[in-house]
């Protein structure tokens, strides 16, 4: 038997996620069973639980896109993995349970140099940051970039990865409290408290090579105004709760706009390429170039308390299930 966090209807996570006990199925010949040790609660989990991706999510389901564990058992047709191997199973949900039966090809190898908690936070944010910087904008020394929500978990990772190649971003935050949480080397800080603050802060910083935006809304146009012709605008979140207005594209025809969704990239790439990128990311974590703060840890069976602590998402670290 094992504990599982199950969603049987879409809605607010605090209301629809239930903890259940279930028997372990017979392990398929072509799968591995991973004993999960630590799991993150991420915005992508909550969005899926809400029903935003109902067209590709079959009820009931077990949430959790980021979970670390060790191989417990291997099916008879599995080669190259053995019990005890540290892995992070990706490409599907199902992390919020004690054991996950999964495709061995999509178990990313986790180096021994990472702690369990580092491993459990090594995928969603770090890989998304790596994808934006190295695949979307082609980060190189001398580039000038701006990052909003810069004091968030992914914001600090973006700054760390940028610093690793000699780039010091313009950091945009919303409060003095967030300002105190900034880590890494930055070109400048803009505290965007009210209308007009962002435009004033960027007034002397036009000609940016790239903007990484996880806020959306009307401020997206202000950020795009600061880009050079041909500059990159990468949109990967909607913290404002407001979409980028339709007028954005008509008024910025000379920029390179793209969305960034880690899931789409992982599902379109070979496992070798994903493992290669993940190895680059974990090397930066092991070297303390980037890090994710953990705020609280709850046992899986206390999922209700964990969600109450995690939501709404805010600066100050991740909530884990371990």
The pLDDT of residue 177 is 87
Number of neighbours of residue 159 by Cβ within 10 angstroms: 25
Please report whether residue 88 resides in a domain.
Answer: yes
Question: What is the number of other CB atoms lying within 10 angstroms of the CB of residue 122?
Answer: 26
> Does any domain span residue 279?
no
Domain assignment of residue 13, yes or no: yes
Asked if 97 and 149 sit in the same domain, the reply is no
End-of-domain residue from the set 221, 246, 262: 262
d(CA 253, CA 152): 30
Evaluate whether residue 317 is within a structural domain.
yes
Last residue of a domain, one of 219, 240, 262: 262
Q: Give the predicted TM-score (pTM) of the model.
A: 0.95
CATH of the domain at 104: 3.90.180.10
> Is the domain of 145 the same as that of 254?
yes
Taking the C-alpha atoms of residue 203 and residue 69, their distance in angstroms, rounded to an integer, is 48
Do 159 and 73 fall within a single domain? no
Q: Are 149 and 214 spatial neighbours (Cβ–Cβ below 8 Å)?
A: yes
| Host domain of residue 96 | 2-122+292-321
Q: Rounded to whole angstroms, how far apart are CA atoms 316 and 124?
A: 17
Phi and psi at residue 297, to the nearest 5°: -130, 130
Distance CA 91, CA 263 (A): 7
Are residues 30 and 107 located together in one domain of the fold? yes
Query: Both 84 and 11 in a single domain?
Result: yes
Residue 241: what pLDDT? 82
**Residue 74 sits in the same domain as residue 94:** yes
Residue 80 lies in a domain: yes
Domain CATH for 238 = 3.40.50.720
148 and 258 assigned to the same domain: yes
The reply to whether 11 falls in a domain is yes
Residues 148 and 211 in one domain: yes
pLDDT of residue 28: 98
Count structural domains, the chain.
2
Looking at the fold, whether 11 and 116 belong to one and the same domain comes out as: yes
| Residue pLDDT tens, the chain, 322 long | 999 999 999 999 999 999 999 999 999 999 999 999 999 999 999 999 999 889 999 999 999 999 999 999 999 999 999 999 999 999 999 999 999 999 999 999 999 999 999 999 999 999 999 999 999 999 999 999 999 999 999 999 999 999 999 999 999 999 988 888 899 999 999 999 998 999 999 999 999 999 999 999 999 999 999 999 999 999 999 888 889 999 999 999 999 999 999 999 999 999 999 999 999 999 999 999 999 999 999 999 999 999 999 998 876 789 999 9
Distance between CA atoms of residues 230 and 32, nearest Å? 46
Say yes or no: 134 and 113 in one domain.
no
- Whether 111 and 149 share a structural domain: no
d(CA 244, CA 246): 7
Same domain, 144 and 247: yes
Residue 240 lies in a domain: yes
Nearest alpha-carbon partner for 39 in 99, 82, 83? 99
Is residue 271 a part of any domain in this protein? no
């Amino acid at each position: 038997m094992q504990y599982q966090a199950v969603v049987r209807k879409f809605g607010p996570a605090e209301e629809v996620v239930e903890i259940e006990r279930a028997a372990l199925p017979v392990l398929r010949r072509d799968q591995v069973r991973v004993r999960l040790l630590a799991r993150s609660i991420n915005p992508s989990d909550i969005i899926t639980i809400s029903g935003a991706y109902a067209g590709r999510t079959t009820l009931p389901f077990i949430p959790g896109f980021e979970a670390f564990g060790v191989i417990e058992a291997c099916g008879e047709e599995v080669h190259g993995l053995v019990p005890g191997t540290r892995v992070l199973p990706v490409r599907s949900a199902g992390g919020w349970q004690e054991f996950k039966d999964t495709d061995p090809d999509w178990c990313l190898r986790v180096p021994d140099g990472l702690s369990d908690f580092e491993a459990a936070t090594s995928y969603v944010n770090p890989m998304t940051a790596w994808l934006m910087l190295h695949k979307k904008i082609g980060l190189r020394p001398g580039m000038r970039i701006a990052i909003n929500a810069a004091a968030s978990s992914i914001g600090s990772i973006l700054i760390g990865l940028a610093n690793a190649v000699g780039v010091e971003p313009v950091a945009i935050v919303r409060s003095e409290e967030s300002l105190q949480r900034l880590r890494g080397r930055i070109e400048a800080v803009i505290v965007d408290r009210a209308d007009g603050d962002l435009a004033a802060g960027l007034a002397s910083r036009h000609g940016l090579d790239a903007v990484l935006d996880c806020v959306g809304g009307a401020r997206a146009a202000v950020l795009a105004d600061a880009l050079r012709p041909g500059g990159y605008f990468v949109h990967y979140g909607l913290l404002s709760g407001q979409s980028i207005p339709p007028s954005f594209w008509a008024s910025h025809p000379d920029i390179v706009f793209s969305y960034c969704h880690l899931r789409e990239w992982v599902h379109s790439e070979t496992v070798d390429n994903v493992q290669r990128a993940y190895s680059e990311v974990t090397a930066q974590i092991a070297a303390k170039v980037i890090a994710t703060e953990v705020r609280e840890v709850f046992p899986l069976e206390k999922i209700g308390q964990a969600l109450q602590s995690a939501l709404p998402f805010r600066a100050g670290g991740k909530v884990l299930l371990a």
